[in-house]
Chains A and B, each alone.
Chain A
């Protein structure tokens, strides 16, 4: 249906009324976020009842351990650091219409190279420079890892969903091999990399256990958001994502942009690995794979690839996973129930989105 009102006089008038509409919109978004979370909590509560656990006690623990206890909130905020980097990487890729699902492989390779390089580098240069170099190495390694899917997509049109997923299997295994063979710390019996001394890791914030990686993560995701929405580079990526044929028609170098998108996205995933190792873990144990990359994907989708909304969803994800882990230990619920809870929340959120969309469609029709 075309909209043929009087040309431009009405255009400005319409803009003026949009402020009220924006406020209503924000209210609606809030309702659409909190409502489904409540429903999800009820559903998960029913499951808990069925296995003989008091849901209220469980949720009490989750909130206490994930949000209200000083130690819990510190853990939650610390957990956010790598998740924010991963989310930032996914925002770049998804907005450009490229489905980089290889975050875990890129994350682990970044983590392993950071873990291998940091303890060596701190011995030969000032700590801040050593950490910076480790970050850089992790980023570059992850970028190189993304080259195969990037080049295949850019010049051969090979679907990147398949290639990045395949590369993530290879990547996690390769990271493991590196830990067990190349970077293994000879002074311990368990296969792991050399441990970075606590005093050389990223500083903690004030007198808490929160890693300063959180600030880096927040800065990164906000910068990414602004780049994607306010700059010509971001607009070019969004054009490629929204209509690749229009990008070609407009004279954008689509293959080059494709490779750039993969490099940025993978580089940020590599940084996520580095920030987790250099800030928190200190080393990489063999077979360590937190699979953050997959957990972040739905959060980024629910945030509609908006950086600020993504911060909120990443926070929620962290509360649930930190709180859930300790609540599970206390009440004898299997540890994996955290995942059950997180996935129920995500599914209900997605369903609500769908129902809302349908409702709007039918009202419009």
Chain B
């Protein structure tokens, strides 16, 4: 592990952390962390959810102050007191969630934050942007509304904003989590060009492949501590696979692959649990419609839905769960038509929908963990009697679910939004897989989770099917589908374009269907 002395190295650190510690009530978010950030390097910060990455970024961008240790800027100890101060020091941050005003144009967004008594210098900006984009090989539509741009384009605008403000250090916080594979590659190339111009980049991710592909130097965080660093010299000497295996060892010890799939027998002779015939949904302003969706799922079977994000996956899940009005077709659960039933009635019959939007619709963030377990059972015995809350019953059952599903929470009363993504997902899993489930729809169940939680969630899904339930697994991660499903259907433009048995050549067949060729 290299310590961050700035003198001996040819290129001096722009920013260095020395023994930085940050505590929050009940936890040590960062424990005595040393870090050196140098120009011309992509410094990857790698760690699972809750490893302390976000806190570290918060301190670098002036949002938070360390409790111990110090931050050196250009070799001099200097507290970074506010985000404005950080910008003035040349530290620009692109946060995980987009921080642009969607109703303004790109140019207007870039001009935000200028002195209020001056007219915005539009021409100057255009010239400056032209200069930057030319050297980086980007094209940016200055007069387009931000809302009309794709997520990848929006991210380029955010990077551009940092560049316009003369940043020397660019921090990218989980920047790839919203991007398509192509967008991720473009971002990687862009980072490479930026460091070639002498910029320093801190790139935060929990995806090993990206770390190995885009980094020059990798620091691995685990539970608030820095557990290891791969400096550029070693990085160049190792191949990608060696780097990945070294990181996996640092992060997880030995456990790296999915556990062996449980033997699971699809009861081919049984009647399908879920039958969908010619399901159709009208398109809306911002979502595609669905047309002629038909499939069956047998007991114990996992049917995957593959496809590029935004091709109607969410609409399909919502239409099945009863949250979205359909314009035609039938949905049968155990042979009985349910398309006219409400969300609650479908749940009663045993249809469960595990949403991909965990905080947006899956939970009420300000409510305690215990109540969130029963959000879909409000009023039901034994947790409510004659409409009156039975707190003891609720807490007893919630404590049991917390144990069974290994939810890491300080207490049952903790607002659920304060948990990490993986633990919120465990709350949802516990809720949807509770007694009475027959058909479960999983929508992107491992999206945004770290490796340990991803593996745990996948195991839950396999166990669910092994119990004889029918599983619909919607995912944009083809590897996930190939490793878990019995059959994979491909959705494109709101229609199922084909269904493939998950055998050895499934990968190519699904791939061909996804890009619009016949399997």
Residues of A within 8 A of B (CB): 1-8, 10-12, 14-15, 230-233, 235-236, 238-239, 242-243, 245-246, 248-253, 364-365
Contacts and interface: CB of A to CB of B under 8 A. Distances in A.
Which 10 A-B pairs have CB atoms at the shortest separation, nearest pair first? A2-B420, A251-B344, A251-B343, A2-B50, A232-B379, A245-B361, A249-B361, A232-B384, A4-B408, A11-B411
B29 A239 contact: no
25 contacts: A1-B29, A1-B50, A2-B49, A2-B50, A2-B419, A2-B423, A3-B24, A3-B409, A3-B410, A4-B27, A4-B408, A6-B408, A11-B399, A14-B26, A231-B388, A232-B379, A242-B365, A242-B367, A243-B360, A246-B363, A246-B364, A250-B375, A251-B342, A251-B343, A252-B344
Given A239-B375, A251-B347, A365-B64, A3 B364 contact: no
Contacts of B97: none
B375 A5 contact: no
Contacts, number: 133
B105 interface: no
A242 B361 CA distance: 11
Contacts of A238: 367
Given A235-B371, A239-B375, A242-B367, A249 B411 contact: no
Contacts of B360: 243, 245-246
Given A242-B364, A242-B366, A365-B63, A248 B410 contact: no
Interface in B348-369: 353, 355, 357, 360-367
B55 A1 contact: yes
A253 B378 contact: no
A6 B360 CA distance: 27
Interface in B369-388: 371, 375-376, 378-379, 384, 387-388
Interface of B: 24, 26-27, 29, 49-50, 54-55, 58, 63-65, 223, 321-323, 342-347, 353, 355, 357, 360-367, 371, 375-376, 378-379, 384, 387-389, 399, 402-403, 406-414, 418-423
B410 A14 contact: yes
Given A246-B362, A248-B361, A365-B58, A11 B409 contact: yes
B408 A365 contact: no
Contacts of B363: 243, 246
Nearest to B365: A243
Given A1-B54, A3-B408, A243-B364, 6 more contacts: A3-B419, A5-B26, A242-B364, A242-B367, A250-B344, A365-B64
Contacts of B423: 2, 4
Given A3-B414, A231-B389, A242-B367, A249 B379 contact: no
A3 B375 contact: no
B410 A250 contact: no
Contacts of B55: 1
A235 B389 contact: yes
Listed residue (A3, A12, A242, A252) with the most chain B CB atoms within 10 angstroms of its CB: A3
